[in-house]
A and B are shown apart, each in its own frame.
Chain A
Amino acid sequence: MIAFLLPACKSSKPYDSSAGTGTYDGDYTDMSELPQRGDFNPDQDVDYSTFRAGGKENGTIYFATDSSTIASSERGKLDRIATWLFQNTSKSILIAGHCDERGTLEYNRALGEQRATSVRAYLIGLGAAANRIYTHSYGEEKPAVSGANEAAYQKNRRAEIGVVMK
C-alpha cells in the first residue's frame, strides 16, 4: 500500500555515537533498566523535603522547553544528590518528572518520564547505584505553580527528587 513502510526489519545500522539520529540503533547499548517497583506508593511514600533542607533546591532539576537534557546549571545539585546516595546506602530515591502545560497530554507523560530517566542516567554516570533510583512521570498534571506565562512554565519543567520512606 505505502511503499516506504515495507522495508521493515532492515539490518541493524552500526551504532551512531551522535544521539538523536531518529533511527533504530541496532547496536545501541541500553539505558540502565529500571529497578522493579518497590513496595511504596509514589504519591504517599516519598519525602521531597530532604533535598530542600535549609532552603536549598537540590531536589529540583529544571529543564529547557521540550528538553530532557541536564543543563550545566543543574549539575551541582546532582553531584550533591549522588554524594547523599553514597552516604545513605540503605535509602532509595524517586525522581518524578514534570512538564509545563504547553505540550500535549500523552507526549508530556513520556517527556516527564524522560526527564526522570535522564536525571537517573546522570546519577548512575556519577557512580550511584541504579537499583536505588526509581523514576516516575506526572506529565503536566501537577504544576509547581499555576499561570500561563514563561515564568510559570520555567518552574514547572522539572524533575523533583525525593527519598523513598519505606
Chain B
Amino acid sequence: MRYFICVISLFLLVGVQAQVVITGSGKAPVSIENFQVSPDGKNILIKDLQQSGVIELVGQNQARYRVEGALEGGALKSRLIEMRQNQVIFNRSYVGATRDMIHQFADDVVQAITGYPGIATTQITFISKATGAKELYVMNVDGTSVRQITRDRSISGSPSFSPDASQVAYTSYKSGYPDVYVVNLKTGQRDRVAGFPGLNSGAAFSPSGSRLALTLSKSGNPEIYTMSASGGSLVRVTKTRGAEASPSWSPNGNSLVFASDDRGSPQIYIASAQGGEMKRLNTGFLYATEPVWSPDGKKIAFNARIGGAFQICLYDLPTQQTRQLTKSSNNEDPSWARDSRHLVFSRNGQLVLLDTLSLETYEIKTGLSQCTEPSCSK
C-alpha cells in the first residue's frame, strides 16, 4: 500500500489496479492535458471534476492520471490515462451537445478512478415562482438547459424524479385540489395518479420505479401510503393521530423515512413500506422534517429548525450520530445526488450544491428567482 496525501491508497487488485480508494475528503490527482474543446469545454470539465469532490486538478508532474480530449467531426474523442504505468484506462467517443458530452466524460473519469458515480450528468427538478406562480422546472446540475415543464399558473410542489429520470411526480393545485401528477418529460404527457379526497402530496418513486410513497388524508388525517406509480393498489403505512409527510424510500425499497408530528413537534421516523411500527430517529432537534435517504442507504439528510432558521443536517444510520452541515442563512429541502456525498437544497430561494464531506458549497445559477424543493436524478 502506498499513500497519497495520507488518505488515498493504491488499490492493487487484478483488474482494478488503476483505481484508487478515496476515503474521507481525499482526492485523486488528475491533470488535464490537450483538452481542445472550444470555446469553454476545458472550463466545463474543470468545474465538473472539481465539484466531484474526489478529484484534485494538478500539474502534469504531480498527476497520477491524465485526461485528454478533442472534438472530431462533432464527436468528443477522449482518453483517461494512468500515468505511472502509462496505461490507457479508457478511450471513448461521445456524441451529442458539447456540454453533455463533457459532463458524461467527467462522470466516466470519476467512476473509473474512484469507483464512485460522478454527478456532472445529474438533472434537477425544482419549483420556481419566477413567473409569479409556482411552476415545475428541470435543468442540469450546472444550471444549464433550464426547461419550464408546467404553465398552470397554479401551485406546483414537491417534485421528484423516477429512477430513470424520464418522469417527474409532483403535486399540483391546478384542478383546485392538491393532487399528485406524473409527467413524462419526453412526451409531455401528464397523468393525475392520486386525486383522493383531501390532501394528495409529497410523492416519491420507489427505487424500482413501480410504486410511489405519498401523503394522503382521505382517512381523515394526513398519513403515509404507497401506491402503484400508475395509480391504485394502495397500502397504508402509518396510522397515527399526527400528520405524516415527506416519505423517502430506503435504497432496497423495504423501508420509508418520513416526518411525523404524532408526538408534538415534527420528528423523523422510519417504518416498513408495508406498514407497522414507527421507529423514531433521535436527531436531537425539536423540529426535524423533509428527510431523504441516501442512495448508499447509510445516511438520512433532513431539515432541522435551529434558532428560527432551517439548517441541513445528516443522521448517520450506522453510528446514530447527527451532524449539522449548514450554519447560516435558511436552508431547506435537501436532496441526495447519486454519489451519496453531495446534496442539493434551496437557500433563500437559490439552489445550492453542497459537498457533505468538505462542506464546500456551489451556487447553481439558474437565472430564476424563488427556487425551492429541488430533487436530483439518480
Q: Which of A22, A34, A42, A113 contacts B262 (CB 8 A)?
A: A22
| CB-defined contacts of B317 to chain A, threshold 8 Å | 2
Do residues B277 and A104 form an inter-chain contact, with CB atoms below 8 A? no
Give bound CA distance, A42 to B179, whole Å: 13
Closest to B259 in A: A107
Given A22-B240, A22-B278, A117-B217, residue A106 in contact with residue B176 (CB < 8 A): no
Do residues A117 and B303 form an inter-chain contact, with CB atoms below 8 A? no
Give bound CA distance, A149 to B72, whole Å: 60
| CB-defined contacts of A4 to chain B, threshold 8 Å | 270, 279
| CB-defined contacts of A22 to chain B, threshold 8 Å | 240, 242, 260, 262-263, 267, 269, 278, 280
Do residues B158 and A1 form an inter-chain contact, with CB atoms below 8 A? no
Given A20-B242, A66-B266, A109-B201, residue A104 in contact with residue B261 (CB < 8 A): no
Q: Which of A32, A37, A103, A113 contacts B289 (CB 8 A)?
A: A103
Give bound CA distance, A129 to B372, whole Å: 39
Do residues B197 and A66 form an inter-chain contact, with CB atoms below 8 A? no
Do residues A9 and B272 form an inter-chain contact, with CB atoms below 8 A? yes
Answer whether residue B115 sits at the interface, using C-beta atoms and an 8 A cutoff: no
Give bound CA distance, A119 to B372, whole Å: 30
Do residues B178 and A137 form an inter-chain contact, with CB atoms below 8 A? yes
| CB-defined contacts of B261 to chain A, threshold 8 Å | 66, 111, 114
Answer whether residue A105 sits at the interface, using C-beta atoms and an 8 A cutoff: yes
Do residues B220 and A104 form an inter-chain contact, with CB atoms below 8 A? no
Answer whether residue B137 sits at the interface, using C-beta atoms and an 8 A cutoff: no
User: Closest CB of chain B to A139's CB: distance in Å?
Assistant: 8
Give bound CA distance, A136 to B200, whole Å: 10
Do residues A111 and B221 form an inter-chain contact, with CB atoms below 8 A? no
Chain A 48-70 against B: per-residue CB contact (8 Å), 1 yes, 0 no? 00000000000000000010100
Q: What's the interface size class on B, roughly? A: 35 or more
Do residues A106 and B308 form an inter-chain contact, with CB atoms below 8 A? no
Answer whether residue A144 sits at the interface, using C-beta atoms and an 8 A cutoff: no
Closest to B318 in A: A2
Give bound CA distance, A138 to B155, whole Å: 9
Give bound CA distance, A33 to B155, whole Å: 26
Give bound CA distance, A43 to B241, whole Å: 28
Closest to A103 in B: B289
| CB-defined contacts of B255 to chain A, threshold 8 Å | 2, 5, 8
Q: Which of A31, A68, A111, A113 has most chain B Cβ within 10 Å?
A: A113
| CB-defined contacts of A114 to chain B, threshold 8 Å | 217, 221-222, 242-243, 261
User: Closest CB of chain B to A130's CB: distance in Å?
Assistant: 9
Query: Considering the complex of A and B, which 6 residue pairs feature the smallest CB-CB distances, nearest first?
Result: A31-B220, A8-B272, A110-B245, A34-B197, A41-B176, A114-B243
26 A-B residue pairs with CB within 8 Å? A1-B252, A1-B297, A5-B255, A5-B270, A9-B272, A9-B274, A9-B275, A9-B276, A19-B241, A22-B269, A25-B240, A26-B239, A30-B219, A34-B220, A66-B266, A68-B243, A104-B289, A104-B310, A104-B332, A105-B372, A106-B245, A109-B158, A110-B199, A110-B202, A113-B243, A114-B242
